[in-house]
Structure 1
């Protein structure tokens, strides 16, 4: 992202403000805005914020935390308003305590540690994300409605796709922010859209995902629309996924997942990595799908996985192996949705895959056929395991997964589970319209 920006260069470009960006435990984007005059203070890592006010960081007794900018992520942003276009600089930050030690709630630092572990084994994690969202019209007061604004389906065009202009504007703003766009189109459900951008190093893609979501929200708003990354806004329609395409690259730049002499085109490294992901899929579910609503997407019939399985080019499996081989050989992990914290998600996925490689975890047989079909899902000895059906079950599996505890640390692990348990309990205590219609 860094394009040679310096304090002097920013002054020449009339950039007055610098955005120090970071992420809380549950994936919410945060930022502190400072004036250009505080540039040196910021780049020296001397800007403080109140960690007790941000989920997952610290208590009131030790609330001062430091924002440590990652200079490689420094980039120019251009936002438009009614008064015209105004440039700001932005940089992603790690969060540290006053001694310079990564704060316990800094998921960006967690991902760094997982990447360092991979590097020790000779690998670098590459990630590509498929970004899905809905566009909703606003009412007269500027509040989002729950009425979709078009009747489009997969890859439809105007007038069925009424979000075409907004989607194109989003893609253009992304390009101005340094994204390399691969494709954008209307998705399966009315009002639903997908934009894919170029894969890259895991840490860079996690940063870009946070920027992508902000761009979508901003551009939609100035076009009189509201963008939602909610996993399942409507019953009976496809929901928003965050499919993650993963590959390991060796130090010599060779894709470690490809083997030209194997029948599948997959290396033994890829097989072990897939096995590790499957082994920890249940434990990772509360991170990949962290909301009550997440599990309403994971139902048969909507191209979302419901069983723990892998398959080639089969969108009903937890893990799909796309057909491309050679440098493009990759593993598509299909459960995650856009409410996941990308740093934490990438950290645990990588750790699971590396564990599979290190322990030489055997790869189970490939699942063949439509896994929504019970006869197919029950194939083999004992059949296929089910993916968790709700957040409560996901948390039970997470509590049993020591790998995730190791990534997060005891305190943060317990904090995450307790907060998500409270969310599940709050939902269970509510009486919903469906219940009124069914039982009143």
Structure 2
């Protein structure tokens, strides 16, 4: 049965979105915005075995997930894709939610979890540490229906070897008050270069990963900097992004990480233009706030999450069964609507509520090609350079502290 868009929007509770804001944003997925789907240059993962064949189900699976990714009906009786999995496989799903990717990385080191929904700036850390194993996608029946442009990307593969299955994705968009911003913006310049016109009413995402938004803008507007990948910045390029963000800060009224506060700020007019998510715009519009969103001409950052298997999992059959289930058309459509994102399985759009896939641009490869999905910055330059050392997430965290002062 299809859920209505209104029901889905209301189902996205404040607790869930707060967790998404606290974690996904600070550490969620990342990508290459062109057709080059190669893995991280120079990145050599530990040599771990890959599952070769399916066997008997072990009876349980320990799932580490973002809130909203493994609903069993306890939050809302109408929202349940865990129970059908348990009934079909005989695998008891033991679910633990995490609030940030840092927490997920730490928990995966315990070896207590069989499968994890990893965001892009967590996935490479897990791979490098040997905490997740390469995934044999031939054992995941529904993988064939996953959009090709989500496969073999910087955040979910290394040298062509997949380390998980894509779950869902979305863009970080530009939102504005249509009654207070004179003309509809088409460029991120409105928050980076023209912010003085809205001094004190510009809003930006509160996370070190937001540095990539500035880097992406500089990549298009200052080509002499040589930025080819917004998550692959040498020291000079990072410094340029920091300078731009410091300039922007003069006009920022609030950095947001709480979705409710962003909705409230746009409701009162304390914020009139800045970065957002489609699901937040939907909530604001549903409350009568006159806002609109756009994917700017420079493109945007975004997220694409991946289900990965623990390297020491004793329940790999149930783990693979879970991955296959969660990207099945039925489950993938349900979680995408509840979470507020595009599903990864093309067939999910045949089941999702009318208009959902259009709203979130599911299956729109041209749209997806304009997105740079969150990816962990690492010393090995993701753009292929080997003559310099790129800055890592620790450098970005320090730089973000410098930006905010």
- The normalised TM-score by structure 2 is 0.27
> Which has the larger share of strand?
1
**Which fold has the larger relative contact order, with Cα–Cα distance below 8 Å and residues 6 or more apart in sequence?**
2
- The normalised TM-score by structure 1 is 0.25
